[in-house]
């Protein structure tokens, strides 16, 4: 596999889950792309529908040649069939051309010759059960195709994707309709965890350090993040738009993500728990992580506020994935540094057992961090990719439960306790024998 392909695979594995309005607007200006993804895959039920409104259409072609609007339009396809698009374009087969659709991979909704000549606008509403034979639900993507060579197109499009459930329209796709309940449940669990941790810190008294109070703030922001997600998805379900809850999500996510990496780095360096200072090397690491998190949060806002139809949307998606990769790698370095420093100290200060017992904690913490990153970035991605669209909510639930488990395990490992009483500082019997021999040897 080529290095570029490996990089793209790595980026995909670290893709975060973002909420976006299902009633979306996009503006395309002088765009020469042959294929534009207008709306990401959406899970439709038996009564799934879509509404498309196109305005301000303009086709530009060099010279005096008049463009053919019949070669421009919208079509839908399944995510599995998207792989054929690149091949068909390379072979000069237009997805809008029925003769090019050999295997019924694409369904043309309408072409631009349907636009009103006077006002250059068109509105179409589609009921998928009427378009597709024996349609019982499925996941579909909406694309725009420009098969007119050497041309650019300008237009504004408004898209509404929804399912009719009973007497109301539900703008959440099948598979995501469980997310409001999941995130609200996680809010209750994280809030309970925050209360228990706060009580433990208060009870710890002089054995509670600054890092413990910082962890309280982290859990609080995590609780507010999942709460804002719950209300955001609930509002999208009713109105098709986040109605301001996305702003709260941006703020709490920014604070939570920044605090998360900072707390992990500080725990890994033993700050406030084993030493009251931060070394210059650790300060430089923090100065790298903080700007990276700022960039990641800008990317989240951009991806959430714009549709894939925007030319720079995929660029910001790659930036977000790359930042996530870098931050996840950086947090492992301080743990390795701490382990190395403790091993070096055991060989020089003569306190072999007292120093090396701390390695048990940091070795376990290292394993915990690696497992957490592996599960939430790779396993969750595999779940999102392999689960049927009806059960995609299981990936979000697994990610949140893994985060809760990681928070609990980290809290237990670094909870306020009198010196020498922490069970995670104790050695196994085999390690104790080896260390005893090391002390006895001259």
Identify the pLDDT of residue 256: 92
Tell me how far apart the alpha carbons of residues 31 and 154 are, in angstroms, rounded to a whole number: 7
Give me the residue label for tokens 């609080």: 220
What's the CA gap between 306 and 62, in Å, rounded?
A: 30
pLDDT digits (tens, 9 = 90+) for 253-272: 989 988 998 888 888 777 76
pLDDT at 317: 82
Given a contact cutoff of 8 angstroms between Cβ atoms, the answer to whether 156 and 56 are in contact is yes
Instruction: Over range 410-429, report the average pLDDT.
Output: 66
Burial bucket for residue 4 (CB in 10 Å: 0-12, 13-18, 19+)? exposed
More confident residue, 417 or 165: 165
pLDDT-derived band at 19 (thresholds 50, 70, 90) equals very low
Confidence band (pLDDT; 50, 70, 90) for 43? very high
Identify the top-confidence range among 49-58, 191-200, 241-250, 359-368.
Answer: 191-200
Average pLDDT, integer, range 333-359: 64
pLDDT for 20-31, tens place per residue?
456 788 888 888
**Mean pLDDT computed over 87-101:** 73
pLDDT-above-90 percentage for the chain: 28
pLDDT of residue 5: 35
Is a pLDDT exceeding 90 seen at residue 152?
no
The model's confidence at residue 236, banded by pLDDT at 50, 70 and 90, is very high
The SS3 of residue 438 is: helix
Q: 104: which DSSP letter?
A: S
Q: What is the pTM of this model?
A: 0.82
What is the predicted pLDDT for the residue at 187? 97
Residue 171 pLDDT exceeds 90: yes
221 closest CA partner among 180, 175, 262: 262
Q: Average pLDDT for residues 69-86, to the nearest whole number?
A: 83
Most confident of 188-197, 363-372, 418-427: 188-197
Q: Which is higher by pLDDT, 258 or 422?
A: 258
Average pLDDT value over all residues in the chain: 80
Choice between 90 and 42, residue whose per-residue pLDDT is larger: 42
The full set of domains in the chain, from first to last, is 22-170 (2.60.120), 179-440 (1.20.1070)
Nearest to 27 by CA among 51, 50, 57: 57
Confidence category of residue 84, pLDDT binned at 50, 70, 90 = confident
pLDDT band at 421; cut points 50, 70, 90: low
Which helix (H) or strand (E) segment holds residue 134: the answer is none
Q: What is the pLDDT of residues 274-327, one digit of tens each?
A: 666 667 777 788 788 878 888 887 888 777 777 787 778 878 888 887 888 888
- 173: nearest Cα among 39, 284, 64: 39
Q: Tell me, what's the pLDDT at 442?
A: 46
Band (94; pLDDT cuts 50, 70, 90): confident
pLDDT, position 48: 92
Higher pLDDT, 19 or 245: 245
In this prediction, residue 351 carries a pLDDT of 52
Over residues 83-108, the mean pLDDT reads 74
- Among the residue ranges 309-313, 374-378, 392-396, 402-406, the one predicted with the least confidence is 309-313
**Can you give the pLDDT at residue 170?**
92
DSSP string, 281-344: HHHHHHHHHHHHHHHHHHHHHHHHHS-TTSTTHHHHHHHHHHHHHHHHHHTHHHHHHHHHHHHH
Q: Please give the structure tokens belonging to residue 395.
A: 């990936």
Q: What is the pLDDT of residue 276?
A: 65
Query: Which among 48, 57, 61, 270 is positioned nearest to 152, based on CA atoms?
Result: 61
pLDDT, mean of residues 356-372: 76
pLDDT recorded at residue 359: 63
């Amino acid at each position: 596999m080529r290095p570029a392909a490996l990089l793209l695979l790595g980026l995909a594995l670290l893709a975060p889950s973002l909420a976006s309005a299902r009633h979306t607007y996009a503006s395309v200006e002088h765009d020469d792309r042959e294929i534009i993804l207008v709306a990401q895959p959406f899970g439709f039920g038996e009564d799934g529908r879509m509404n498309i409104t196109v305005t301000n259409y303009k086709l530009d072609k060099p010279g005096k040649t008049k463009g053919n609007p019949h070669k421009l339009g919208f079509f839908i396809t399944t995510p599995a069939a998207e792989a054929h698009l690149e091949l068909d374009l390379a072979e000069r087969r237009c997805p809008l051309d029925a003769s090019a659709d050999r295997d019924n991979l694409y369904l043309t909704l309408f072409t631009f010759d349907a636009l009103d000549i006077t006002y250059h606008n068109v509105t179409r509403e589609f009921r998928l059960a009427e378009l597709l034979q024996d349609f019982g639900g499925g996941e579909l993507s909406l694309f725009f195709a420009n098969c007119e060579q050497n041309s650019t197109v300008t237009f504004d499009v408004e898209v509404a994707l929804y399912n009719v459930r009973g007497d109301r329209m539900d703008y959440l796709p099948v598979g995501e309709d469980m997310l409001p309940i999941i995130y609200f449940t996680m809010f209750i669990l994280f809030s309970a965890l925050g209360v228990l941790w706060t009580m433990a810190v208060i009870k710890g008294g002089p054995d509670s350090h600054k890092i413990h109070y910082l962890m309280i703030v982290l859990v609080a922001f995590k609780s507010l993040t999942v709460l804002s997600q719950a209300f955001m998805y609930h509002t999208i379900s009713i109105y098709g738009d986040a109605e301001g809850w996305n702003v709260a999500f941006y703020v709490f996510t920014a604070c939570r993500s920044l605090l998360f990496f900072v707390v992990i780095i500080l725990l890994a360096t033993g700050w406030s728990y084993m030493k009251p200072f931060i070394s210059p090397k650790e300060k430089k690491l923090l100065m790298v992580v903080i700007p990276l998190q700022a960039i990641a949060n800008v990317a989240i806002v951009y991806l959430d506020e714009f549709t894939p139809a925007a030319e720079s949307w995929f660029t910001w998606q790659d930036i977000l994935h790359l930042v996530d990769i870098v931050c996840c790698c950086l947090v492992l370095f301080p743990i390795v540094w701490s382990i190395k420093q403790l091993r070096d100290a055991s060989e020089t200060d003569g306190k072999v057992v007292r120093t090396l017992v701390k390695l048990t904690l940091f070795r376990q913490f290292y394993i915990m961090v690696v497992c957490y990153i592996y599960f939430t970035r790779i396993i969750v991605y595999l779940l999102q990719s392999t689960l049927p669209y009806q059960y995609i909510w299981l990936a979000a639930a697994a990610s949140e439960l893994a985060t809760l488990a990681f928070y609990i395990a980290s809290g237990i490992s670094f909870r306020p306790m009198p010196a020498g009483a922490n069970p995670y500082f104790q050695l196994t019997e085999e390690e104790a024998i080896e260390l005893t021999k090391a002390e006895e040897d001259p």
